[in-house]
Structure 1
Amino acid sequence: MRSDRPVYRKLEVNYRRNRKQYSTELLDALAADFCYQDCQDEYWHPEEFSLLYGTHLWQQSSPSQRIILNQLYWVAYYSQIISAEIATIFFNQTSAAGLYAQEDFRLVCDTLDLESSQERAHINAFKIICERVEASLFGRRIFSYPMRSPFSETMIFADTNRLKSWWKKVQLHCFGLLSSDNTFLACQYFTVRGLRTLNGKIVQHQLSRYYQNYADKNQVPIPTKISYYHFLDESFHFNSSTIISQDVINCLPKPTKFEKMVANLGIRGCQKDHYHFSVAINGIFWYDPALYSAIYQVLTSNIFGMDSREA
């Protein structure tokens, strides 16, 4: 790959700049310092990124209820990101195994190692804040969950059942096994990763701008800061996906029919995962009927005080 200097240069620049802005220790410190009571009366991102924004419930909510719905969007959104990043860590490593078998691919593997360490910091920060917020508001989990396998459904509120979930698990196991010993499929994973995260980057950019537009950076709520630093990391990760899936892959021999079939199945699966759109939460492809139980718990909590019939 070194013979293709433009591609190698892109990788070098992306890797170097990502290392330079490495913010894992900062994220760890922010998460450790988080206390919900310190920022419970503030919006954490733009108003339109609130749970149930634009619905009749939102329109009839009090100012304090709207603030909580804004904060619950953060909890719900980053609970979904945790699931995606758990899977990303695993497939980064299986893909690195497939790529390292080639000459001059160490830089790609070092990039993926760096990104995986950042993903672990993201997960830790999101998990701490989500759990503390839900414990304070509800005394139990609603959107968050214990740590899970990378072979679970990536969408935490999906149109699925036990059979579909089992079949998805089999497919993910198979792809992990194949990509760890196939350089083309290892690269092709980053096409899927890029597609999965494209919409996320659009949302995360808007969340990060809330921090950038804050007048007094010392008074920014910790979740808002974490959104900003997460976006910085993910910008480099998206660059990696683009370079590997569009440039590095062209350094390889032409794929076989089998490799093309597996690659297309991966893209098809990604499209199916992103088939739905949610009225309840802007920017996530959740299946709203699967979300009813969580919304019901929010509405019957002390925040809204509805009885079962009203909810």
Structure 2
Amino acid sequence: MSTTINTTPKLNNNPPSLLAKDSKTRKKLELNYRRAKQTDHSPALDQLAEQFDYQQCRDQYWQAPEFSLLYGTPLWDQASAAQKLILNHLYWVAYYTQIIAAEVATIYFNQTSATGLYPLTDFRLVCDTLDLETSQERCHIQAFQTVIDQVEQILFGGNLFGQPRRSPFRETMIFADTNQLKNWWKGMQLQGFGLLSANNTFLACQYLTVRGLRTLNGKLVQHKLSHFYQQQEAERNPIPTQISYYHFLDESFHFNTSTILSHDVGGLLPAPTAFERQLVNLGIRGCQRDHYHVSVAINGIFWYDPALYGTIAELLTSPLFGLSAQECEAMLWACFAQETEGLHRSFQTHQEAWLSYQAYLDPLPFVDQTNKSMALMKGNSMEHYLKLQSRALQSFFQTNPFPSTSPKAN
């Protein structure tokens, strides 16, 4: 009885490696991951958060004065030196409250994207990069939350801008032009995209296009904030300033990841279907809608200022500022419904953002003209803003009883 040995080689059913086709892209990914891992600032941020004591740095600016709440408005012009410090600190609190909300969503969608990309041969490098960034996001959130909670507890006895930990399926903007129905629909869209991108290579990759736009917005502001750290001796910077700087360094690598995956790796994938193109363009238009509004209250975060009126009124009528109801109403009109230096600065930042978004999207062939031209964002104007505030303030004072009690201040 003879035995026949099958010498036919076994077929390799694994898909071909996309990264092997482009050594330049792989080297970019390897270099970005290696440097991000080597310079991971998570241990430093954890230590800074543990050491933070508001009483030790409440008499210092945490970033340049122009990055203060309602800078360049009558409130800033009339504020005392001590009140200007509070407005500077509250800018930090408000800004990073928004960053927390964005990073909670990033943690979730990093993982759904990694799920969609991991089946590709040789894509462990990409997934390891997203895992590292997810771990860093958790660290960032913890550091921000520590400072926010302590500052607002001391100033107000509770949160003013600070929020309970949010679901990734909520509106990204904390102070948005929204309602219950819009919130529900946005949640359905985000959950649907998460499910689709976890099983679709193109969508998993191109989530990073939207992430790149949002990170680019943050990078524009945080780069300016980092100048304050660099202008002083490192050890003389207050802890919140140091946290801002280290976060900026981490996010620079995150932006690199978004760019490489959306531009370089995306170019290695098969051309998207009409359905895939439509979904990605809907996501980019959603980013345009989120970033359409301009906030005079906080330059660099595209909040919907009418949603902020109640919060600002609480601040103004607190013992920290001590305005009467009548004085507060007059101040809200002066700050939000008049052309001010602060409004011009905020629109300048808004223009810098949409110009940068245009440049970022220009190389991507599947992005439609409405998104490449940033038509929605460009449609805003100071004239439109001021008319909106005038109508919204009238409605606010007609439909909302003016706060009779204010947060406790110390």
Match of 1:298 among 304, 315, 318: 315
**Could you tell me how far apart the structure 1 residues matched to 2:252 and 2:313 are?**
35
Q: Give the % identical residues.
A: 65
**1:67 and 2:66 matched:** no
Match of 2:271 among 245, 254, 271: 254
Letter in 2 for 1:34: F
Match of 2:236 in 1: 219
The number of equivalent residue pairs is 310
Match of 1:282 among 296, 299, 303: 299
5+ residue gaps, structure 2 = 1-18, 329-410
For residue 248 of structure 1, report the CA deviation from its aligned partner: 0.5
Give the TM-score of the pair, scaled to structure 2: 0.75
Match of 1:127 in 2: 145
Deviations 1:196-216 (CA, angstroms, capped at 9, x unpaired): 1212101001111111111x3
**Could you tell me how far apart the structure 1 residues matched to 2:287 and 2:224 are?**
23
For residue 188 of structure 1, report the CA deviation from its aligned partner: 0.8
Higher relative contact order (CA 8 A, sep 6+): 1
**1:266 and 2:283 matched:** yes
Match of 2:121 among 89, 92, 103: 103
Secondary structure of 1:310's partner? helix
Secondary structure of 1:130's partner? helix
Give the TM-score of the pair, scaled to structure 1: 0.99
Q: How does 1:133-172 map to 2 (within 5 A)?
A: 133-172=151-190
**Could you tell me how far apart the structure 1 residues matched to 2:257 and 2:215 are?**
12
Letter in 1 for 2:187: K
Match of 2:40 in 1: 22
Q: Whose Rg is larger?
A: 2
Match of 2:95 in 1: 77
**Could you tell me how far apart the structure 1 residues matched to 2:296 and 2:132 are?**
36
Letter in 2 for 1:251: L
**Could you tell me how far apart the structure 2 residues matched to 1:243 and 1:30 are?**
31
Structure 1 residue ranges, 4+ long, deviating more than 4 angstroms after superposition: none
Letter in 2 for 1:291: L
**Could you tell me how far apart the structure 1 residues matched to 2:195 and 2:234 are?**
46
Secondary structure of 2:32's partner? helix
**Could you tell me how far apart the structure 2 residues matched to 1:284 and 1:150 are?**
18
**Could you tell me how far apart the structure 2 residues matched to 1:46 and 1:199 are?**
19
**Could you tell me how far apart the structure 1 residues matched to 2:104 and 2:223 are?**
21
Q: How does 1:191-210 map to 2 (within 5 A)?
A: 191-210=209-228
Letter in 1 for 2:287: C
For residue 2 of structure 1, report the CA deviation from its aligned partner: 2.2
**Could you tell me how far apart the structure 1 residues matched to 2:216 and 2:252 are?**
10
**Could you tell me how far apart the structure 1 residues matched to 2:101 and 2:113 are?**
18
